[in-house]
Amino acid sequence: MGLEIIGLCKSFKDQKTSDIVEVLDDVHYHVHGGRFVSIVGPSGCGKTTLLRVIAGLEEPSSGNLLLEGRKISYDVDRIGLVFQEYALFPWRTTLENIELGLEIMEVPKEERRAAAMDYIRSFGLKGFENRYPHELSGGMQQRVAIARTLITDPRVVLMDEPFGSLDSQTRNNLQSFLLALWQKQKVTIIFVTHNVDEAVFLSDEVLVFSKRPARLTNRFDITAPRPRDRTSTECNRMRKMILDALEAERSDPLLTEKS
């Protein structure tokens, strides 16, 4: 069944002006279990806020979130969140960062260490288990962050521009790494990005959000077979359709009337 977003709205009170700022406006969508869904939209439209609401870090102003047909219970239903800035603890080693979630869950030390070492081996981090974050490259830090999220066996993984700060080669490598991981584990992923090429390469579906307050304005099924060729006719066609949808969303109606 997956994750259902039903009439989700979110607003904040501006601390300086006391004005109410509408961020999410009646968002409806059903993310089927095991799917890879990307979200694109104008900067500041509310994509990160949506992830934070799904993760339980923000309360919605109205609407509901259902997981497998019932209201999410964050004590039971683990929702993983991977940030762009890695959010690793600088005083913890690779091993200690990866096992953090299991430590919070009070998993016995030997068991969580064994599980963390399995991730270290499968994520290509062998030999770096005792290194601190500042001793790792950006790509390695992000692999640690992803491993730390997945080790708790989440039902849904939310990813907020996780590769946005990386160079293009590292970014492409981690995209392929993430796809291989997802195809093996079939976890549900909701992935926020500003990079349309990335969205087309990774996703089963791409959702386009409007300017704030964010509404879902377009949905695109990405049917190109995997492994995908970024330069294929089908990928280029989908990329243009999504870019056109984004451009229509960015256009200023006042400028359009004057032109």
* Domain contains 15: yes
* Domain contains 161: no
Same domain, 63 and 176: yes
Task: Look at residues 154, 189, 221 and tell me which one is the last residue of a structural domain.
Answer: 154
CA distance 251 to 48: 22
**pLDDT for position 254:** 42
Same domain, 102 and 37: no
Read off the CATH number of the domain in which 53 is found.
Answer: 3.40.50.300
Task: Look at residues 89, 120, 154 and tell me which one is the last residue of a structural domain.
Answer: 154
* Domain contains 223: yes
* Domain contains 22: yes
Same domain, 186 and 259: yes
- From first to last of the 259 residues of the chain, give the pLDDT tens digit: 799 999 999 999 888 888 899 999 999 999 999 999 999 999 889 999 999 999 999 999 999 999 999 999 888 888 999 988 878 999 999 999 999 999 999 999 999 999 999 999 999 999 999 999 999 999 999 999 999 999 999 999 999 999 988 899 999 999 999 999 999 988 999 999 999 999 999 999 999 999 999 999 999 999 999 999 999 999 999 999 999 999 987 755 444 333 3
Residue 87 backbone zone (phi > 0: left; psi -120 to 50: alpha; other: beta): left
**pLDDT for position 259:** 30
Same domain, 123 and 5: no
**pTM of the prediction?**
0.92
Same domain, 237 and 211: yes
Same domain, 185 and 254: yes
Amino acid at 256: T
* Domain contains 159: no
* Domain contains 73: no
Assess contact for 142 and 111: CB atoms under 8 A: no
Task: Look at residues 89, 123, 154 and tell me which one is the last residue of a structural domain.
Answer: 154
Assess contact for 159 and 174: CB atoms under 8 A: no
Residue found under tokens 């969205």? 199
Q: Based on the structure, what is the number of domains in the chain?
A: 2
**pLDDT for position 132:** 97
Same domain, 110 and 35: no
Question: Which of these, 171, 220, 216, lies nearest to 200 by C-alpha position?
Answer: 220
Residue 132: Cβ within 10 Å count: 16
Same domain, 18 and 98: no
Question: Which of these, 165, 235, 237, 234, lies nearest to 194 by C-alpha position?
Answer: 165
Same domain, 37 and 84: no
Cα→Cα distances 174→32, 55, 127, 162, 224, Å: 24, 23, 19, 10, 20
Centroid of chain to Cα 64: 20
**pLDDT for position 77:** 87
**pLDDT for position 98:** 97
Same domain, 57 and 82: no
Kindly state the tokens that stand for 181.
């991981």
Instruction: Supply φ then ψ for residue 12, to 5 degrees.
Output: -125, 155
* Domain contains 163: no
**pLDDT for position 251:** 59
Cα→Cα distances 137→165, 173, 197, Å: 12, 13, 24
Same domain, 238 and 202: yes
Residue ranges making up the domain that contains 206: 1-68+171-259
